[in-house]
Amino acid sequence: MTMKQHSKNMPVRSMTMIQALRSAMDIMLERDSNVVVFGQDVGYFGGVFRCTEGLQAKYGTSRVFDAPISEGGIVGAAVGMGAYGLRPVVEIQFADYFYPASDQIVSEAARLRYRSVGEFIAPLTIRMPCGGGIYGGQTHSQSPEALFTHVSGLRTVMPSNPYDAKGLLIASIECDDPVIFLEPKRLYNGPFDGHHENPVVPWSKHPLGEVPEGYYTVPLESAAVFRPGAALTVITYGTMVFVCEAAARETGIDAEIIDLRSIWPLDLHTIVESVKKTGRCVVVHEATRTSGFGAELVALVQEHCFYHLESPIQRVAGWDTPYPHAQEWNYFPGPARVGAAFKRALED
């Protein structure tokens, strides 16, 4: 289970991931007058997912404001603001719509410190709701993390629960490097283990929905051992953390589940220690398989744990197709597919 970082006497209350993210932005708007929050529908309305509700009323329109529907414009303006000395936290409404901002993210935000030898920096946080499992179809379900992890100069982060969401978002906002902050929207209101036939369980029923009200951080580049185990190591992040937990429960396999939290740069130490202990490894993500981030994870484990491996590294991912609508549950890697991979990893 996630190691809690905050001081013990801080008041704690039950929050959804949405409330936790909002709390992180609220705290950073309060603490640092250079923090500004903007994006499409982010201001008056409070965001299509309610993540910024009330912030404009509290901090004013010059700190929290609506933006034109222009992803390239939102990120490009944020790069200019960062060069001035602000700390912009911008939102792309869905990760599926970051593509028009690719040039500003890859060619500008990621490279600015390097190409100017630190004269100018881009301390941005770009929030993007991502992931499937919500009947979002092709353009409301994608998991584009591999497109960011391939870019030198970017940090890519994805929380799996309200506690981490708040701590990681505060750490990301404070970080002087550009951070792509991916939020699995399937987890906004409650954990989801892939059993779409079951009623949704709210975060108020989960211990990780207990979130400190004040300031705390979850450090970047630190993975969490979400479920300790001895039989095999599962490397995953986002919604799949809960799917993997369900797969372990249903197969009875004592899987050690690592929630990466920071996808890249990552916490290699935690991965290597675990795989050396278990000798078996399964990598799981929602994103499509070929050249997905799982390929990098498989390569790293192979390189660092080769002599400890007792079976081939297994990979469970979305199929190499666009994300379909009607075939949602045939596409989304659920507990059955993950459990089957666990079993394959235990063969030999």
Partner 1 sequence: MRHTSHLRLHVPEPSGRPGRETDFSYLHLSPAGEVRRPPVDVLPVDTSDLAYSLIRVLDDQGRALGPWAPKADPELLRKGLRAMLKTRIFDARMLIAQRQKKMSFYMQCLGEEAIGTAHGLALSDGDMCFPSYRQQGLLMVRDVPLVDLICQLLSNERDPLKGRQLPVLYSVRKAGFFSVSGNLATQFIQAVGWGMASAIKGDTRIASGWIGDGATAESDFHTALTFAHVYRAPVILNVVNNQWAISTFQALAGGESTTFAARGVGCGIASLRVDGNDFLAVYAASQWAIERARNNLGPTLIEWVTYRGGPHSTSDDPSKYRPADDWEKFPLGDPIPRLKQHLIAIGAWSEEEHEETRKQLEAEIIAAQKEAERYGSLATGHTFSAAMMFEDVYKGVPEHLRVQRRQLLEE
What is the distance between the alpha carbons of residues 48 and 105, in angstroms, rounded to a whole number?
A: 23
Q: What are the residues facing 258 on neighbouring strands?
A: 225, 235
CA angle 55, 61, 62 (to 5 degrees): 110
Choice among 6, 140, 285, 325 that is catalytic? 140
Question: Which of the ranges 50-58, 138-146, 147-155, 252-260 carries the binding residues for partner 1, by CB under 8 A?
Answer: 147-155
# chain residues binding partner 1, by CB under 8 A: 43
Phi and psi of 259, rounded to 5°?
-95, 110
CB of 308 to partner 1, least distance (A): 19
What is the distance between the alpha carbons of residues 141 and 331, in angstroms, rounded to a whole number?
A: 11
Query: Contacting partner 1 (CB under 8 A), which of 44, 45, 84, 135?
Result: 84
Question: Which of the ranges 48-56, 75-83, 194-202, 223-231 carries the binding residues for partner 1, by CB under 8 A?
Answer: 75-83
**Residue entry with tokens 């790293």:** 300
Query: Contacting partner 1 (CB under 8 A), which of 14, 50, 153, 231?
Result: 153
Phi and psi of 65, rounded to 5°?
-150, 160
What is the distance between the alpha carbons of residues 49 and 21, in angstroms, rounded to a whole number?
A: 11
Query: Contacting partner 1 (CB under 8 A), which of 25, 28, 37, 79?
Result: 79
Active-site residue 206, yes or no? no
7 DSSP 8-state letter? -
Question: Which of the ranges 115-123, 180-188, 210-218, 338-346 carries the binding residues for partner 1, by CB under 8 A?
Answer: 115-123
Q: Which is nearer to partner 1, 62 or 198 (CB)?
A: 62
Q: Which is nearer to partner 1, 176 or 320 (CB)?
A: 176
Can residue 121 be called a binding residue for partner 1 (CB under 8 A)?
yes
Is 34 in contact with 27 (CB distance < 8 Å)?
A: no
Can residue 68 be called a binding residue for partner 1 (CB under 8 A)?
yes
Structure tokens belonging to residue 136: 């979002």
Report the catalytic residues. Answer: 140
